[in-house]
Amino acid sequence: MSNPTILIVEDDAAALMLTRRVLNKAIPEANIDIAADGDEAINAVFKAAEENRLPLVMLLDWNLPKKHGREVLQTIRQDPRSKDLPVVIVTSSNAEPDKSEAFSLGANNFVHKSLELSEFRDNLTATCKQYLNL
């Protein structure tokens, strides 16, 4: 069995580095793919779907360049190949309207990029392990 793949969609270099570091430590067997904007995220998911190797979970920043996280989520939910891909919104927004919108569009979970590193690490790790069945 191949190692699980996590797709991180993040445009902020510091947030990407932190997320990667947390995942590499908590889930060292995971392969990590990166997309820096909404267009790259959609292309990565559809390319992986064509190759029958969808990631086991997508960590999607809500506020992205080119296409907003909501557009990415809508697009992948509308395609039968990716409609069931677990998508976790990982964002600095803790606004209730953003959470409600994300869930109404089909997000599986919502993790706030907390200023408290241990809280962010614990939430992100537990959420990923849930979808990776670890």
Closest C-alpha to 102, from 120, 87, 113 = 87
pLDDT digits (tens, 9 = 90+) for 93-131: 878 888 999 999 999 999 888 768 888 888 888 888 888
Side chain identity at 109, as an amino acid letter?
A: N
Instruction: Say what percent of the chain tops pLDDT 70.
Output: 98
Residue 102 lies in a domain: no
Alpha-carbon distance 124 to 111, whole Å? 7
The count of domains in the chain is 1
* 64-90 mean pLDDT: 94
Task: Give the pLDDT of residue 103.
Answer: 94
Residue 47 lies in a domain: yes
Residue 65 lies in a domain: yes
Range of the domain at 66: 5-96+107-132
Residue 101 lies in a domain: no
**What's 85's domain CATH number?**
3.40.50.2300
